[in-house]
Structure 1
């Protein structure tokens, strides 16, 4: 009998890139009795299910042969026109042909990594940063460097030093209501980041999934709007937070040559994003009042943010700190020195409440005392109960966990 040889190992990148702690925590906290502040999930009751259903019904009734067929890689022309019009109204002149529709903005990151990065290339991210981008760049074989930040985001002078030293290909930022911290980068820093990119030769990937979820304060200009960075900034957007995450619809706005490279990468990945989902989204944007819907969402989310901020006073140990985001979905908190949010999580989940430890979001040295809490999913009374459970869970815990 011939002895079968073992199959080849997985690729090194597949062996090296870790799974998402957020997805693991979501699985751990799937029990209905758990009040989870872990996932960045839109409130399900605020999704306009009736309006979205009507949009699907209309396109399936009016154009079944088109919307159930293959379509172009670039995306539904009506959807791209609607996105371009919304961007223009918000201060960024955009034509439909400037856009590529993607299967969620997460796919846009994958396409950009395929188009821009060779194994071993350097990239820069905020520290901390969106967890999935670390996975994405890890799969691309990139070397990830953490740009120093403070409560206003990236520190431009420190960024300039890092870029000069490591010569990265791109910088990834979430300037508005950042994930995980909820902070917003001021206009002067955005301009400075654009100038660093222009001066030192750098692509900027500007991710904006939360920008329309503003509860107070003044909107800041996109980095893509500054002339210094207009030829080197890719703006990413998504309907996951404003329409429905299950539709998996995002888009990227990029200079022509890079956009064309992303189109080719997308052809290799999935040919095109779902035709019927794009058509339904375009019809929804034409028939419904998304701005009015967003105003209702923001009014509800503002109350929930305030309920969480009020509850944290008694929920976290004395000496803890947290921020007050002007929008988005997240509060970033820090326990007193000596506490470890990861080590404490099992005891917290045992009290049927959950958060996400902050450590996995860091590309540099992690802060073990940090944690992220999402306030959008639950009503204020449920948030208050969750804060009470968190207080009980942490009340008997020492600094060593």
Structure 2
């Protein structure tokens, strides 16, 4: 019997091939071998997880009702967890009710839901430059025209934002105003007020991503963008338990105006129906039984010491003429090498010495700055950080930039 001719299956959707994979994930895989000191991943310190408290919370969730814990639940989320999230947001100065909150599978899903509900192919989306890499992936997959807003060491420049909004008529501005990823910088209060005013006057959605806001080591709290007059009816606020409880829970939340939240609920139904019931109930039990603020204070103290260890050793590790910032909180220090140096090329020498960081170029929209790099200080002890910087200094000494 003659062979039957076959045709290949249809091509992938354009959005599946238009966006590259995350170079950070590739670096993390490269540095996963034992003995590597990695400043690359924005990972919480596992030894600081409250494993006993979380184990007890899961036991309590099953003891209360194993049938409920293992069953389907509502898309909006478990009422007791939504109430707990609302209470914590209200305590931080933003009056919030449980009905204002949608529980998501990590705050990354909240961002994807916002993109699904607001962004059409060709829409202009504004971002800080540089910005969170996965946000660039998310908006890229939605088909957006991603446009960078000029920033300085404090973040968005309101005058530049005004000019771009008038010219491009964007759908939304995405921002990480507090301890930004990748730079660690924090947008001052007066600039937040200006951004909120521009959004109200020009007609613009604001997407405020706040995974790091509770990790403050010094300085004064700055109110959320969402708390400013003019922003309250147009801000989607994204939060997460990943940095203060554990990322493996994959629990985040979205606070948004009613119409946007309802649209996000429909988008979530199409994505996963609802976030894990047992994880939500365990988190709710945990928040009732444990003083999360006291746990966060312990985490802050450890991370502050690690940040200081990194900052104190960078001068000896990086080449003369480098500069870096001093974040008041969060997980990252942003550095720039001297003219003629390339952080991606230097990484090869660093990995060969069992130390790693993330080059800054992928975080940029448009023309990247090849001299920049992001260093995370949360995963290693001060002693390990000191050793990592010694290895990095060896890589700097061995690397010879062509144009320096």
The TM-score bracket by the shorter chain reads over 0.9
1:209 alignment counterpart: 211
**Cα offset, 1:143, TM superposition:** 0.5
C-alpha contact 1:340 1:400 (8 A) present in aligned 2:
no
Written as runs of structure 1 = structure 2, the 5 A alignment for 1:89-128 is 89-128=91-130
2:36 alignment counterpart: 34
Written as runs of structure 1 = structure 2, the 5 A alignment for 1:344-383 is 344-383=346-385
2:53 alignment counterpart: 51
**Cα offset, 1:345, TM superposition:** 1.1
> Are 1:10 and 2:5 counterparts?
no
C-alpha contact 1:125 1:171 (8 A) present in aligned 2:
yes
2:170 alignment counterpart: 168
Query: Which structure 2 segments of 5+ residues have no match?
Result: none
Which one of 137, 140, 155 corresponds to residue 138 of structure 1? 140
**TM-superposition CA deviations, 1:356-389 (whole Å, max 9, x none):** 0000000121000000000000000000000000
**Cα offset, 1:7, TM superposition:** 1.0
> Are 1:323 and 2:325 counterparts?
yes
**Cα offset, 1:2, TM superposition:** 2.2
| CA distance, structure 2, for counterparts of residue 384 and residue 329 of structure 1 | 17
Query: Which structure 1 segments of 5+ residues have no match?
Result: none
Written as runs of structure 1 = structure 2, the 5 A alignment for 1:268-347 is 268-347=270-349
> Are 1:387 and 2:381 counterparts?
no
The size of the alignment, in residue pairs, is 401
1:76 alignment counterpart: 78
| CA distance, structure 2, for counterparts of residue 398 and residue 310 of structure 1 | 25
Which one of 115, 138, 149 corresponds to residue 151 of structure 2? 149
SS in 1 for 2:230: helix
**TM-superposition CA deviations, 1:159-185 (whole Å, max 9, x none):** 110111111100000000000000000
C-alpha contact 1:337 1:399 (8 A) present in aligned 2:
no
**TM-superposition CA deviations, 1:312-358 (whole Å, max 9, x none):** 01000000000000000000000001111011211110000000000
C-alpha contact 1:108 1:236 (8 A) present in aligned 2:
yes
| CA distance, structure 1, for counterparts of residue 237 and residue 61 of structure 2 | 29
SS in 1 for 2:41: coil
Which one of 13, 23, 26 corresponds to residue 24 of structure 1? 26
Written as runs of structure 1 = structure 2, the 5 A alignment for 1:241-280 is 241-280=243-282
| CA distance, structure 2, for counterparts of residue 60 and residue 153 of structure 1 | 45
| CA distance, structure 2, for counterparts of residue 103 and residue 242 of structure 1 | 15
SS in 2 for 1:199: helix
| CA distance, structure 1, for counterparts of residue 70 and residue 9 of structure 2 | 39
**Cα offset, 1:400, TM superposition:** 2.8
TM-score (norm 2): 0.98
Where do 4+ consecutive residues of structure 1 move more than 4 Å? none
| CA distance, structure 1, for counterparts of residue 398 and residue 353 of structure 2 | 12
**TM-superposition CA deviations, 1:24-70 (whole Å, max 9, x none):** 00000001210000000000000101100000011112210111100
SS in 2 for 1:63: helix
2:62 alignment counterpart: 60
| CA distance, structure 1, for counterparts of residue 4 and residue 121 of structure 2 | 38
| CA distance, structure 2, for counterparts of residue 362 and residue 83 of structure 1 | 32
**Cα offset, 1:13, TM superposition:** 1.1
SS in 2 for 1:71: coil
TM-score (norm 1): 0.99
**Cα offset, 1:14, TM superposition:** 0.9
C-alpha contact 2:111 2:138 (8 A) present in aligned 1:
yes
1:240 alignment counterpart: 242
